[in-house]
Amino acid sequence: MLAMDGQEPTFRELIRLAKSGDKGAFDTLYHRHVTPVYRYVYIRMRSKEDAEDIVQEAFLKAYEALPGYEARGGSFLPFLFTVARNLLINHSKKKRPIATENEIMDREDSGERTSRETEMRELRESLADAMEMLTDTEREVVQLKFFAERSYTEIAEALGKREDAIRQHVARSMKKMRVYMRQKNNDQIA
């Protein structure tokens, strides 16, 4: 979608157009933001189908909330992350079982796994175990930083925290995960 001057429309222009009913503007917002929102949701759900459902619902809720949405900052992502986060919280309250990495691999695996695939699976499992050692806030910050590839500023805005607090959470989380991974590797060698 191009603005009248041939340039890509700005975030604020897209919001203004989407609020006025321009479905193409919202479609552009969707395409610009769906990947980081999907990554954020998928890492929490570990199920492609559930993640797709949550992301679809998040964008639907964001579209429905557009009339009251005030464009602050230069990104729609903090708002989308907040919507997705609330949907994830509601989903977990329903006590629906979340697929484990092993279940996903078993469903997707129709033949023999290569050595590399096995190593990658083990690394993902170790990483998931290390993530479980973190507090909910630390886990969420790490997911936003490394899986959704958000900046400290965007994370702080999305979570309603100070940027320096987010940096501390990331540093503390990474230290905890390194200690856990080293200990696990030492236990496997011994």
Provide the pLDDT for residue 150. Answer: 83
What is the count of structural domains for the chain? 2
Give me the pLDDT at residue 129, please: 78
Domain boundary pick from 52, 70, 99: 99
The confidence score (pLDDT) of residue 190 equals 56
Q: Is residue 98 predicted with pLDDT exceeding 70?
A: no
Asked if pLDDT for residue 57 goes beyond 90, the answer is: yes
Rg over CA atoms, the chain: 19
C-beta of residue 96 within 8 angstroms of C-beta of residue 163: no
Specify which of 70-74, 88-92, 119-123 reaches the highest per-range mean pLDDT. Answer: 88-92
Answer yes or no: is 3 within a domain: no
- The CATH number of the domain holding residue 42 is 1.10.1740.10
- Per the prediction, the chain carries an average pLDDT of 80
- CA atoms of 141 and 148, how far apart (whole Å): 10
Q: What is the CATH number of the domain that holds 165?
A: 1.10.10.10
pTM of the model: 0.58
* Domain match, 66 and 119 both: no
Domain boundary among 99, 127, 144: 99
The answer to which of 111-120, 152-161, 166-175 has the lowest mean pLDDT is 111-120
CA 176 to chain centre: 21
